[in-house]
Amino acid sequence: MDQQIEIVGYLAMAFLVISFMPRQLKIVRIINLVGCILFVAYGILLGWKMPIIISNGLIGIIQIYHLIFPKKTA
């Protein structure tokens, strides 16, 4: 079970790092959101580690907000 938990952590880390590679902001936000979701799951699997859960949960909410309400360019 510990190995499976670590795999979730490594996947979350990979999505976070990969999210900074695309040039399109929407793609960055989507990939980062997946990473945040995985980090929240990782925090839960580690035994409810609240700093991991709260920080990534909030970042995920911000990403969702910006995906739903994109900034209008002039």
pLDDT value, residue 38: 97
User: What's the rounded Cα separation, in Å, for the pair 38 and 56?
Assistant: 9
The residue with tokens 């409810």 is 48
Say if CB 56 and CB 41 are below 8 A apart.
no
pLDDT value, residue 1: 76
pLDDT value, residue 43: 97
pLDDT value, residue 73: 73
pTM of the complete model:
0.90
The DSSP line for 21-51 is S-SSHHHHHHHHHHHHHHHHHHHHHTT--HH
pLDDT value, residue 72: 80
Which residues of the chain carry a pLDDT beneath 50? Answer: none
